Structure 1
Amino acid sequence: MTEHQPLPADATGNPTPGQREMAARSLGLRGAANARDLGGYRTSDGRALRHGVALRSDALHRLTGPDLDTLTALGLRQVVDLRSLAEVRENGPDRVPGLPVAELDAAEHSAEPVTVSPPEPGGVTLHHLPIYSEHFDIYVALRDALAARDPAAQRALLGDGGGAAIMDGLYRWFVTDAVIRDRFARVLRLLAQPGGTPLLFHCTAGKDRTGWTAALLLTALGVDRDTVFDDYLLTNERHSGIVTQIMDSFGTRGIMQEPELILPVYRAEPAYLAASFAEVEAGWPSFDAFLVDGLGLDDSVRDGLRANLLTG
């Protein structure tokens, strides 16, 4: 399991304001370094997201016993896993407080949405909502390219801007595919349910699918676009040490001759999130229209989100 990386400091040796903000948002999970709280962001009408109700994360399969205790102490009610079947097969199912391992394993080894309910009232419910393409599963494509250790194949996939192009296409697909739009919409509906929070949503790295879910939620609540992008880019700070270790390992183990080729896939880049928003603007007259016509969210859902997540 990868340990947390220390925060880089400014010239005085102290964390910068942005780094202090990132540290404050962290849930402190040793097995999920990118687990953090969306609470505290301000909306255009002067309200703020409540702390401890909307949580975003990387995958939960490496959670430790103390991590599970932390989630229990938060009063967690729902977990949404956005990983594909291949990702679950490779890394294992989530660890969720109070849910039997066998039931989690069966549910998450499914290519279709599955819900695991708690054995006792008031426990945690897990929703497996896999977001991936049957025609081009990026996770599988990257896994196979790395496993082959073929420099030419890796360069053909990732070189000459290929990695960035893959990510651009992924973020546009989040918006253009109707089935996938519905999966994202389900997360927002779950967040809007009475008694549905605290809710934690995640994918594998907590970057792409999780990043677009957070962007949808924050924008729907009236958080300004700059803040939405700032939250998205915090992943780079949480994962910088891990990414460096992975790339070094690829080189020393002979998996890649050019480990830098995969960096665009591992990083959160503003252009990627901008591609999703560009598709929204291309297909709908406004973001509000996208919420209604693209995601199928009526006023009751948006009212529920405000009631559950905002102060005041």
Structure 2
Amino acid sequence: MTANPASQPTPGQSTPSQPAPGAHIELESLPNLRDIGGYPITGGGRVRTGVLYRSAALSRLSPADADALQRRDIRTIFDFRTEVERTAQPDVVPDGMHVVLADVLADAASAAPDEMLEAIKDPLRASQLLAGDQTAAIFDETYRQIVSSDSALAAYRSFFTDIADPANRPALFHCTSGKDRTGWAAAALLLLLGVDEADVFHDYELTNQYLPRSAAAMIKKFTDGGGDPSTLTPVLGVDPKYLRAALTEMTSRFGSITGYFRDGLGMEDDAQDTLRAALTA
């Protein structure tokens, strides 16, 4: 799915004062970093900028890039990863920032997409894991869990409730690669705020531009080890059919985006209105 050309600027297009919605923030040690603001809202207005950022994990954050985050006045970091992921690659947390742990897949047998990311260190294992149609099945099931499992609902309830409080903003949220658990958080929020669905899919798919660029060395090592680089596509990118599966699960379980926030996350209409007021202008 592509973005609505009437409402969506060219990706990367910017002015000195107002970058285009979804523009990549270039920090060498923090992949897939962007402000989720700037998107137009149906009926008028835009999502606020400088308030909420999404990224991959901060496990390789350099001192210079930590300073860059501090200059954006980020107060809170929301970490959607499992305990296993956090232990293996703990975040580097800049001074003055508070971390909130919100383990989306705590109920799942595994954090499958990011286990795939770990598996590509071994080209043979990756080729076996990513063979045939099983990759699509794994991602499809993971996205359904992201929407409706008990741990996911608890994690996203904490996240959305916390970011409504100005004391916790500006904030940054992430998982390991910043594309699946993070992608759903961004998509659900943008839909609630009134962003056109085409623009929501556009924001989701920007990962396909941003994440592979930061993984060039990983891809080369994989290829040099005898791996087929085409098998990395589902690991280093996103597919709109997975977000569509999440939306189908949401509609089936909760009826609509407002039903998801109300019945799934326990955020009544007034809490949803507070979130909209905080993040739109």
The verdict on a shared fold, with TM-score over 0.5 as the criterion, is yes
Whether the 8 Å contact between 1:86 and 1:140 is mirrored in structure 2 is no
1:269 equivalent to 2:239? Answer yes
Please show how residues 223-242 of structure 1 align to structure 2 within 5 Å. Answer: 223-242=195-214
Structure whose CA Rg is larger: 1
> What SS is found at the alignment partner of 2:12?
helix
How far the C-alpha of 1:244 sits from its partner, in A, is 4.7
Whether the 8 Å contact between 2:188 and 2:257 is mirrored in structure 1 is no
How far the C-alpha of 1:68 sits from its partner, in A, is 1.9
How far the C-alpha of 1:285 sits from its partner, in A, is 2.4
Whether the 8 Å contact between 2:192 and 2:276 is mirrored in structure 1 is no
Distance 1:134 1:174, change over 3 A: closer
Of 97, 100, 103, the residue aligned with 1:127 is 100
CA RMSD, Structure 1 to Structure 2 (Å): 2.4
Match of 1:93 in 2: 91
Number of residue equivalences: 267
Q: Distance in 2 between matches of 1:248 and 1:85?
A: 29
1:284 equivalent to 2:277? Answer no
Match of 2:68 in 1: 70
Please show how residues 1-312 of structure 1 align to structure 2 within 5 Å. Answer: 17-20=10-13, 24=20, 25-98=23-96, 124-132=97-105, 133-138=107-112, 141-142=115-116, 145-146=119-120, 149=122, 151=124, 154-254=126-226, 257-311=227-281
Q: Distance in 1 between matches of 2:247 and 2:103?
A: 22
> What SS is found at the alignment partner of 1:127?
strand
How far the C-alpha of 1:266 sits from its partner, in A, is 2.0
* Higher alpha-carbon deviation: 134-143 or 53-62: 134-143
Whether the 8 Å contact between 1:87 and 1:139 is mirrored in structure 2 is no
Q: Distance in 2 between matches of 1:40 and 1:143?
A: 30
Whether the 8 Å contact between 2:58 and 2:92 is mirrored in structure 1 is yes
How far the C-alpha of 1:199 sits from its partner, in A, is 1.0
Among all aligned residue pairs of Structure 1 and Structure 2, give the percentage whose two residues are the same amino acid. Answer: 33
Q: Distance in 2 between matches of 1:237 and 1:146?
A: 20
For structure 1, the 5+ residue unaligned runs are 1-15, 99-123
- Return structure 1 stretches of 4+ with deviation > 6 angstroms: none
